[in-house]
Amino acid sequence: MRATRLLLLALAVAACGETRLTATSVPTGVGPDAILLRVPREGGVVRAYRAGRDSVLWTSSGAAPATAALIGFDDFQSVVLGRGADGHAFAVDLRLGAVQALGKSVLAGVVRTEGGSVFGLDPQGNILRLTSVGTWNWKPPHRADEMVPTPDGALIIVQNGNGRTRVSRLIPPEARLTDSTELPTSDAVLRTSIGDRLWFVTDSGLIAVRTRDLTRALVVRIADPIAAMEATPSGDRLFLATHKPSLRVIDRFAEREIGRIPLPAPALAMRMDPDGRYLLVRVADSDSIHVVSIGTSRVITSIAGAWREDLPVVTPDGRVLVARGDDVIHVDAETGRERLRYSGGAADVWLQVRWNGFRPRAAGLDKPVAFEEYVADSAAADSALAAMMAARYGDVTSQPLAPPPVEEKPRAPLPSGGRQGEVWTVSFATLLAEDRAREMAERIRVDGRAARVIAGSRDGIAIWRVVMGPYDNRDDAERAGIASRLPYWVFEGAP
Q: Is 464 helix (H, G, I), strand (E, B) or coil?
A: strand
- Strand locations in 171-226 (E): 177-184, 186-191, 197-202, 205-210, 216-221
Q: Is the pTM of this model over 0.75?
A: no
Task: Please count the other Cβ atoms lying within 10 Å of the Cβ belonging to residue 484.
Answer: 18
Kindly calculate the radius of gyration of the chain based on its CA atoms and give it in whole angstroms: 33
Q: Which domains does the chain have, with CATH numbers?
A: 29-139+305-358 (no CATH), 365-407+416-492 (3.30.70.1070)
10 Å CB burial of residue 457 (0-12, 13-18, 19+) is exposed
Cβ–Cβ contacts within 10 Å for residue 362, how many? 8
Tell me what pLDDT residue 259 has.
Answer: 95
Residue pair 493/467 in contact (Cβ under 8 Å)? The answer is no
Q: Which residues pair with 468 in a beta bridge?
A: 426
pLDDT for residue 379: 39
If one counts every other C-beta atom within 10 angstroms of the C-beta of residue 434, the result is 13
pLDDT tens string, the chain, 495 residues long: the values are: 555 555 555 444 444 444 444 444 444 455 789 999 999 999 999 999 999 999 999 999 999 999 999 999 999 999 999 999 999 999 999 999 999 999 999 998 889 999 999 999 999 999 999 998 889 999 998 899 999 999 989 999 999 998 899 999 999 998 899 999 999 999 899 999 888 999 999 988 999 999 999 999 999 999 899 999 999 999 999 999 999 999 999 999 999 999 999 999 999 999 999 999 999 999 998 889 999 999 999 999 999 999 999 999 999 999 999 999 999 999 999 999 999 999 999 999 999 999 999 887 666 665 655 544 444 444 344 444 444 444 444 444 443 433 444 444 443 444 444 455 578 888 888 888 888 888 888 888 888 888 899 888 777 788 888 998 888 888 888 888 888 888 888 888 776
Burial, 283: exposed, middle or buried (Cβ in 10 Å; 0-12, 13-18, 19+)? buried
Task: Give bridge partners of residue 352 from the DSSP assignment.
Answer: 36
* 3-class state of residue 391 by DSSP: helix
- Residue 322 has a pLDDT of 97
Three-class secondary structure of residue 378 per DSSP = coil
Dist. CA 318–CA 201, nearest whole Å: 31
